Amino acid sequence: SANVIVMPVNVAGSHWIAAAIKLELGTVTLYDSLYASFKSYHEDVFWVCFMLVSSKSSMWRYVIDFSGGDSDFHNGVQVPQQENDFDCGLFALSYIRSLAQGGEVKFAFDKSQFDSVRRRMVWELAKNTLLEGL
């Protein structure tokens, strides 16, 4: 069974972030590569995630109960930040990949690596497999 749901989230129709819902802990953590620019949307994203897992019609209602008041929202997690306004998808997918492999966002790359990271992601998606490392 899944203990963590990790997903990309589109914010304001123009920016991608990653969200991690930890079912056993009742927490939602957001990973945003342009934190300062989009933090005003974070609470809305939290409530959408909250409603997703606590909905009466949701299959997750049997897995976790967010109604007990113990749910928590982690905002402003320190993660690598982008230096332009178009690499948010690359960062969001890198956060998700890192979380899926080890539970923490542990990566760093500079602009010179962006093309190779993109090529790697395309290959992994086409082959439906993840390569080791980042």
pLDDT at 62: 45
pLDDT at 127: 95
- Asked if 66 and 22 count as a contact pair (C-beta separation under 8 A), the reply is no
pLDDT tens-place string over residues 18-73 = 888 887 777 788 888 887 666 677 778 877 777 776 665 455 444 444 444 444 55
**Tokens found for residue 106:** 């542990």
Q: Which residues of 79-90 are buried (b: 16+ CB within 10 A; e: fewer)?
A: bbebeeeebbbb
DSSP states of 54-113 as a string? H-TTSGGGGT--GGGS--EEE-S------SSSS-HHHHHHHHHHHHHHHSS------GGG
pLDDT at 66: 46
Q: What percent of the chain has pLDDT over 90?
A: 10
The fold of 4-127 is Adenoviral Proteinase; Chain (3.40.395)
